[in-house]
A and B are shown apart, each in its own frame.
Chain A
């Protein structure tokens, strides 16, 4: 039973446009969420996080939005760049605070 779901396996975007990656979760007790980016043959790299006391967090070109009532979060990248092409994982911190629960990832391709 997947607690964190990324329903779009892939997304293609043109350079300069906005990329929107979506993530849904099932456990309303989750209160801390993170996005990681992963290139082939490398480990995931932390991008941005958000606590449930906020509905938005911004860091440069990356913004994460959290809709607690819908149990949904999204990552916006604007403007998208070819170097952003990677697999993006959404993760939620479990209630014990000891483990991240990851979605299956969305592969983003940004074309120039």
Chain B
């Protein structure tokens, strides 16, 4: 049973470009979460989605960031017009239901130059 798959593992973007991060949850998991880890910090919650629905986006910056989890295909975290401060490790996690522990992917390391 494959774990949570994130791609790409590393992504380099210039300031002003768009970054698209993909996450395929574990088989049978319909709950997806995105977290961001800045250097020397813990993981910060960004958004919680179920299929086609955003349940909690209280951790998402108000501008430039969006997330989706369509009926078919992976969840996508999209960052428009990236800035240097967006450089971080972005982790996706999934669970089969709201009450189960999260299973994390290995993250996407975004570097903005």
Contacts and interface: CB of A to CB of B under 8 A. Distances in A.
A101 B45 contact: yes
Contacts of B33: 99
A41 B106 contact: yes
Interface residues of B, number: 25
A43 B105 CA distance: 5
Contact of A34 (B40, B58, B101): B101
Contacts of B69: none
Interface in A9-56: 34, 36, 41-46, 49
Interface string B23-55: 000000000010100001111110010000001
A47 to B, nearest CB: 9
B42 A99 contact: no
Given A43-B105, A46-B102, A89 B59 contact: no
Interface of A: 4, 6, 34, 36, 41-46, 49, 89, 94, 96-105
